[in-house]
Structure 1
Amino acid sequence: MKIVIAPDSFKESVSAPDAAAAIARGVKAAFPGAHTVCIPMADGGEGTVEAVLAATGGKAQQLEVNDALGYKVDAVWGLLDDGTAVIEMAAAAGLELISPAKRDPMRASSHGVGELMLAAVNAGAKRLILGLGGSATNDAGAGMLTALGVRLLDADGRSLPPGGGALGKLASIDTRGLDPRLADLAIDIASDVDNPLCGPQGASHVFGPQKGATPEQVLALDQMLANFADVCARHLGVDHRHEPGAGAAGGLGFAAKAFLNARFRPGVEIVAELGGLADAVEGAALVFTGEGRMDAQTLRGKTPAGVAKIAQRAGVPVVALAGSLGEGYEALHAGGISAAFSLAPGPITLQQALANAEKLLSERARDVMQLWMAAQKRML
């Protein structure tokens, strides 16, 4: 009996590969003869590189780059055998790299992301997958562009300082220095965010506060991003600010689309494709998936929903395991998830749950598998 195991990471406790291994142990505790196929998953956020490398056997690369505030940080990215590079924005310009007291979306820059992209090009990559989750920035990808050779100039022809707070002074753009090799690089943006760049649903208003922006800064940043979009529209002859996903990662989605012809795709779809999930579920008896929290929002591009969609096409039932089940999680049943279970065996603290996540995953997987086997026996 083949059992496919395709979870996301459980944030702050278990990586996707470790979660898959823990579930597999539980499955085999109930049914030692089970053939388990582990395909670690991600949706474009943190853990995407690790999940893809675990699923494909690609090689991890490391590069010292600038974080969002200009401090040096060692960022890991992936290179697959077919020449595909996999990069997480969070590895270079992630929110979790900056302590809450130091977060400053007015100064935060995506420059390090551009540094990783250049490393991928230097390594001979012809395709790039860029995950946009966990950003600390609100600079519309301006920092990334400068790292790639673009000059952003004020009215006096001087280069702008880093950060979204400087974009209000942008007067012109010089793209003559943009690395020409990027024209041959096919870029897929892995993101489940469909927000535009500006306005009430834009990058600054929706995501700025969680990056440390005050209400006054949110308004200012939105206006500065609008000025950036105005200048870009004059330079390019087309306005991309309203396109779905332009507001992803503090607006980096806008720059990637406008200047690099990037294509937006759901992150879980890309990771599933690289890991061969669709082929793996063919002929499977059951699929396990899961992540730290599941609720009604899970259906909006999160890993369990993406896994369920693929399994549903193959007619395979799906069981989801979650650290917690939030309001409206019942909606997951309509999305192809047959059943969802919380990991906690009873009242425990968050700290206990995080510390024992692998053990809890194994136990719940064992319990589910025992129930599954009992049901199968009754039907024979």
Structure 2
Amino acid sequence: MVSVLVAPDKFKGSLSADEVARALEHGLLDAAPHARVRRLAPADGGEGSVAAACAGRFRSEKVSVTGPAGQPVTAEVAVHGRTVLIEAAAVCGLGVLPGGRTAPLTATSRGLGQAVRYALAGGADTIILALGGVATTDGGAGLLQSLGAVLARDDGTPIGPGGAGLADLHTVDLVDARAALAGVDLVLATDVDNPLLGPTGTAAVYGPQKGASPGDVRELDGALAGFVGRLAAAGNDEAVRDADAPGAGAAGGLGYAGLLLGGKVRSGADYFLTLLGADDLLAGSDFVVTGEGSLDEQSLSGKLPVALARRARRLGVAVHAVAGRCTLPAARTAAHFRSVQALTDLTDQDCARDSALSARLLAQCGRTLADRWIGRERTETGR
């Protein structure tokens, strides 16, 4: 019996990772009912990270926090023993903005600090921040304030919310925030390697996705640069170095705040694959099906499908990819995937906005994989 592991990322805006996996499984089993298909719905540090963790050993708990626009939000965190995973997107993400109205200058990460305090109160000694999908570009200022940092205007009052608030920053003191996390292993799970500032920084690259105009981007980048300068002037010798570190620009600069607090950046994809026991599942598979909404240059930097393919290659397991779209030539994908299918090659309709169509096309891709490869894998493996 051929054993297939189906382990895709989400198709953003269309289907969750689990929905993608189920659609592919449906197609595979429709064409090859004798196959053994196992599903894994990992994450890369963005939306769906808590769900991915809870598909493994973690359990979910609810926490009430302040949302990105200052409104109350009830978010789920994932808990296993003294380890707590907090998904930034669930706390201060674009998806929890009231009415979907963006607030690029004023959205705050304060709720993330409140979620961290919840974890600390429960005795956590390892806190994983899954960084991605946020509405904020405040350099983690709200997070730091919630943990006790002093970020004040020249009159001593706290600065306002969001990146715009940083423009008024005069005094900064991180002592209490750092003390709150003393002895805690802080993991910053992300596959974003942008620095904090400049043309490849968080405001320039991700600000427009959060509603920032070109003028807003300049304002936010300037406010973040001022933040770094104030930190350096206050004796935080690592402030400039951390701003340039890969991942500092993750989640509107939450990566930067995490680094200031002693956190360590880890590949989100690899972290979750390890967390969910992917290597054991790979070792028992004849081939793997993975994918994501857009297979592109960013994918090659180590996003989930490529991270999974690298692990599979070490074990001699072939990997096939299915994507919503693929902008890479075959010469670029061949090093990682034995075959690549893209939904955009199967329809002229906008499947990225049609979840039902995406599911049908994914099932079609599953049937194609079964027809083309399951018989071949049985022959090659002698099964």
- 2:244 matches 1:247: no
Question: How well do the aligned residues superpose, as a CA RMSD in angstroms?
Answer: 2.2
Relative to structure 1, the CA distance from residue 279 to residue 14 in structure 2 (aligned partners, 3 Å threshold; closer, same or farther) is same
Deviations 1:9-38 (A, max 9, x none): 122332222322332333333333333332
SS in 1 for 2:181: helix
Q: Which moved more, 1:369-378 or 1:295-304?
A: 369-378
SS in 2 for 1:184: coil
SS in 1 for 2:293: strand
Matched to 1:262, the amino acid is: G
- Kindly indicate whether the alpha-carbon contact (under 8 Å) linking 2:149 and 2:173 is maintained by their aligned counterparts in 1: yes
Matched to 2:247, the amino acid is: G
- 2:71 matches 1:59: no
Matched to 1:205, the amino acid is: A
Deviations 1:198-234 (A, max 9, x none): 1222222222222222222222221211111112223
**1:1-380 maps to which residues of 2 (within 5 A)?**
1-54=2-55, 56-80=56-80, 82-98=81-97, 102-178=101-177, 180-233=179-232, 234-239=234-239, 240-258=242-260, 260-328=261-329, 330-334=331-335, 336-343=336-343, 345-350=346-351, 353-376=354-377
SS in 1 for 2:161: coil
- Kindly indicate whether the alpha-carbon contact (under 8 Å) linking 2:107 and 2:138 is maintained by their aligned counterparts in 1: yes
Relative to structure 1, the CA distance from residue 192 to residue 34 in structure 2 (aligned partners, 3 Å threshold; closer, same or farther) is same
- Kindly indicate whether the alpha-carbon contact (under 8 Å) linking 2:343 and 2:351 is maintained by their aligned counterparts in 1: no
Deviations 1:151-175 (A, max 9, x none): 2112222211111112122122233
SS in 2 for 1:236: coil
- Kindly indicate whether the alpha-carbon contact (under 8 Å) linking 2:23 and 2:359 is maintained by their aligned counterparts in 1: yes
Matched to 1:281, the amino acid is: L
TM-score by length of 2: 0.91
Relative to structure 1, the CA distance from residue 222 to residue 366 in structure 2 (aligned partners, 3 Å threshold; closer, same or farther) is same
| Cα distance in 1 for residues equivalent to 2:284 and 2:103 | 50
Relative to structure 1, the CA distance from residue 19 to residue 351 in structure 2 (aligned partners, 3 Å threshold; closer, same or farther) is closer
Residue 362 of structure 1 deviates from its aligned partner by 2.8
Q: Which runs of 5+ in 2 are unaligned?
A: none
- Kindly indicate whether the alpha-carbon contact (under 8 Å) linking 1:323 and 1:343 is maintained by their aligned counterparts in 2: yes
- Kindly indicate whether the alpha-carbon contact (under 8 Å) linking 1:296 and 1:331 is maintained by their aligned counterparts in 2: no
Residue 72 of structure 1 deviates from its aligned partner by 1.4
- Kindly indicate whether the alpha-carbon contact (under 8 Å) linking 1:83 and 1:125 is maintained by their aligned counterparts in 2: yes
- Kindly indicate whether the alpha-carbon contact (under 8 Å) linking 2:91 and 2:112 is maintained by their aligned counterparts in 1: yes
Residue 376 of structure 1 deviates from its aligned partner by 4.2
| Cα distance in 1 for residues equivalent to 2:330 and 2:95 | 27
- Number of aligned residues: 376
Relative to structure 1, the CA distance from residue 169 to residue 71 in structure 2 (aligned partners, 3 Å threshold; closer, same or farther) is same
Residue 104 of structure 1 deviates from its aligned partner by 2.2
TM-score by length of 1: 0.92
Relative to structure 1, the CA distance from residue 99 to residue 283 in structure 2 (aligned partners, 3 Å threshold; closer, same or farther) is same
- Kindly indicate whether the alpha-carbon contact (under 8 Å) linking 1:305 and 1:332 is maintained by their aligned counterparts in 2: no
- Kindly indicate whether the alpha-carbon contact (under 8 Å) linking 2:107 and 2:137 is maintained by their aligned counterparts in 1: yes
Relative to structure 1, the CA distance from residue 6 to residue 347 in structure 2 (aligned partners, 3 Å threshold; closer, same or farther) is same
Matched to 2:263, the amino acid is: A
Relative to structure 1, the CA distance from residue 295 to residue 241 in structure 2 (aligned partners, 3 Å threshold; closer, same or farther) is closer
- Kindly indicate whether the alpha-carbon contact (under 8 Å) linking 1:287 and 1:316 is maintained by their aligned counterparts in 2: yes
- Kindly indicate whether the alpha-carbon contact (under 8 Å) linking 2:320 and 2:340 is maintained by their aligned counterparts in 1: yes
Report percent identity of matched pairs.
36
| Cα distance in 1 for residues equivalent to 2:311 and 2:37 | 18
Residue 191 of structure 1 deviates from its aligned partner by 1.1
| Cα distance in 1 for residues equivalent to 2:210 and 2:367 | 40
SS in 2 for 1:255: helix
Residue 143 of structure 1 deviates from its aligned partner by 0.2
Residue 134 of structure 1 deviates from its aligned partner by 1.0
- Kindly indicate whether the alpha-carbon contact (under 8 Å) linking 1:93 and 1:109 is maintained by their aligned counterparts in 2: yes
Q: Which moved more, 1:300-309 or 1:230-239?
A: 230-239
Matched to 1:65, the amino acid is: V
| Cα distance in 1 for residues equivalent to 2:73 and 2:20 | 27
Q: Which moved more, 1:159-168 or 1:29-38?
A: 29-38
- Kindly indicate whether the alpha-carbon contact (under 8 Å) linking 1:130 and 1:187 is maintained by their aligned counterparts in 2: yes
Deviations 1:357-378 (A, max 9, x none): 3343233212211221332466
